[in-house]
Amino acid sequence: MSNRHLMGRRQFLVLSSTCAVAAATVGPKLFAGEAASPKRLAVGFKAFDQEAVVSAASIPAGDGTFIGRGARVTASGASGTSAEPRAHRAVELVAHFSYLDGAERKVAPFRAWGCSRVTGCQGSPVGFNVPVDEVQRIVLSVGVERGTPSGATSRREAIGIGVTESADLPLVLSLQNEAGAYALARGFYVVVPMFEGDSAPSWSSWTVRAVDGRFALVDATGNVASFEHFVLRVDYAKL
């Protein structure tokens, strides 16, 4: 990697640290009326042959059939969001592909979905294949933000010039019994960014349906959940 790219990353980290220090110094007065910092993801799951959504933590075991077939992940855009883009929480979904460079294992990020907190979320669902034979897991991260992006049109600009806090929350789907990971199975994973004071959804009250060209969490009458969420459809890459 060139020095030019390394310098860009250092600048990014400096800007991120500066914003974090400013937030800690000014305290609640600066962010009065804003949501608290993101802490975790609430993750639900609906199997293809079931109707109700359950907590993803209750999936009994990973599906070993993914080995040799790989996984096909389809990411739907955010649903249940405010009409005001600045009120959105999730701003990107990144898939982290593991590969060998000689004897060294490395990770390559792929930005599967993104959303601007200035111009709003656009675009259709995107699908991509993830091999699972070697590492037996799918590693994703959800980028979330809070604060005022001050007219920025990208995440980096928002961190650099706006009063914005940013975090990347991990989401791991695994065939192994890993701490902090969810079992990898065929079905829909519903992802909800959680802030301090939020309660996890009552999953059994919901199901997943296609609404306006993307999958969303809906109640018994077909109404989309009013809290921000997005849905990942996970199936075998080779059926």
Q: Reduced to 3 states, what is the DSSP secondary structure of residue 209? A: strand
Instruction: Tokens for 36, please give them.
Output: 């608290």
pLDDT band at 163 (very low <50, low <70, confident <90, very high): low
Q: Residue 35: what pLDDT?
A: 43
Q: Which residues pair with 97 in a beta bridge?
A: 108
62-100 residue pLDDT tens: 999 999 999 999 998 788 777 676 777 778 889 999 988
Which has the higher per-residue pLDDT, 163 or 50?
A: 50
- Three-state SS across 51-108? CCCEEHHHCCCCCHHHCCCCEEEEECCCECCCCCHHHCCEEEEEEEEEEEECCEEEEE
Q: What's 28's DSSP letter?
A: G
Distances (CA, A) of 126 to 107, 112, 239: 21, 7, 19
* pLDDT reading at 185 higher than 70: yes
Distance CA(9)–CA(56), nearest Å, equals: 34
User: Could you tell me the pTM of the whole model?
Assistant: 0.76
* Amino acid letter for position 87: A
Residues whose CB falls within 8 Å of the CB of residue 232, separated by 6 or more in sequence, listed in order: 73, 74, 75, 76, 140, 188, 189, 191
Host H or E run for residue 39: strand 38-47
Residues whose CB falls within 8 Å of the CB of residue 229, separated by 6 or more in sequence, listed in order: 78, 79, 80, 190, 191, 192, 201, 216, 217
CA dihedral 34, 214, 68, 44 (to 10 degrees): 50
Calculate the average pLDDT of the chain: 78
Which has the higher per-residue pLDDT, 141 or 31?
A: 141
